[in-house]
Amino acid sequence: MTSVVQILSVAVSAALLVLVVELVRRRRLTEEYSFIWIACAVALLALSIWRSVLDAAASLLGVYYPPAVLLLVLILFVFVGLLYFSVMVSRQRQQIERLIEDLAILEARLRDTSPGAAPPEPGPGRPVEPESH
């Protein structure tokens, strides 16, 4: 690997690590989700710094240009990250649907237990009921 490519890959990997830590520090990214990003950045940084590991991985995989292995590792990490976050989004969607159902049940029970009470005010997601004359 040429020194320019190695310097660039070290700089980009280090910048990714600093960015993730800064996002966690500013509370824009939670610690739970930062773990996978920190692991990816550290792995890329290690491969960028220790050329012998990168060369060994390239020869093992039959890759002629060792920096291409960095790209392969990066693509692997992106796919793992996308799969992880897809699972998290799916789980959160199920939790939101469950909460909506529970809220609807509680509102129905509240309506049924207070017969003389005024109907609840229309709000987001709650249709305005027409008045009967």
Confidence tier at 114 by pLDDT (50, 70, 90): confident
Total domains in the fold of the chain: 1
In a domain, residue 127? The reply is no
Query: What pLDDT shows up at residue 28?
Result: 92
**Is pLDDT larger for residue 100 or for residue 67?**
100
Helix ranges (H only) for the chain are 3-25, 31-49, 51-61, 67-113
In a domain, residue 68? The reply is yes
In a domain, residue 35? The reply is yes
Query: What pLDDT shows up at residue 48?
Result: 86
Query: What pLDDT shows up at residue 123?
Result: 61
In a domain, residue 121? The reply is no
In a domain, residue 103? The reply is no
106 token code pair: 């509680």
Q: Which domain holds residue 75?
A: 3-84
For the chain, first and last CA: distance in Å?
82
Q: Which string of b and e fits 57-74 if b means at least 16 CB within 10 Å?
A: bbeeeebeebbebbeebb
Would you say residue 41 has pLDDT above 80? yes
In a domain, residue 100? The reply is no
In a domain, residue 97? The reply is no
- Cα–Cα dist 17/101, whole Å: 41
In a domain, residue 66? The reply is yes
1-15, 21-35, 56-70: which range is least confident on average? 1-15
Query: What pLDDT shows up at residue 132?
Result: 57
